[in-house]
Amino acid sequence: MAAPGSRRARAARRRTRRVAASGSDLTDAEWQRILDAWRRCAYCGVDGVALQRDCVLPISRGGRYTLENVVPACRSCNASKCNAEVTGWMRRRRLNEPAFLRAWVEIGRELRAPIA
């Protein structure tokens, strides 16, 4: 836990305010559907690790926690991407950008389809 007046604590408070201001339309059930659909880190493909919610379009750039914008990310990818634009970040990390984008579109279609 960061000391109350530290830079880290101030950054955490700013992030909390940004998240609250952006709104979150993502329910726990939707997050579970996202996890079930991807089954691993959406960016690097690692599995068997705890996955975190990551906004493809970062909150700092106008993104929101929505079904269409959230993917599961391992801690390493989530921390590394931070508020970067996803395609540029993937190129810098030499990750498979085309495969991610295809999967993101396809899984997004599946998630938006009515539940039978």
CATH number at 60 reads 1.10.30
Tell me whether residue 95 is in a domain: yes
Tell me whether residue 17 is in a domain: no
Structural domain including 85 reads: 25-112
Rounded distance between C-alpha atoms, residue 106 and residue 100, angstroms: 10
Mean pLDDT in the chain? 90
- For the chain, the domain total comes to 1
Give the pLDDT of residue 21. 58
Rounded distance between C-alpha atoms, residue 98 and residue 90, angstroms: 10
pLDDT exceeds cutoff 90 at 6: no
Query: pLDDT category, 28, cuts 50, 70, 90?
Result: very high
Query: Using one digit for the tens of pLDDT, what is the confidence trace for 32-49?
Result: 999 999 999 999 999 999
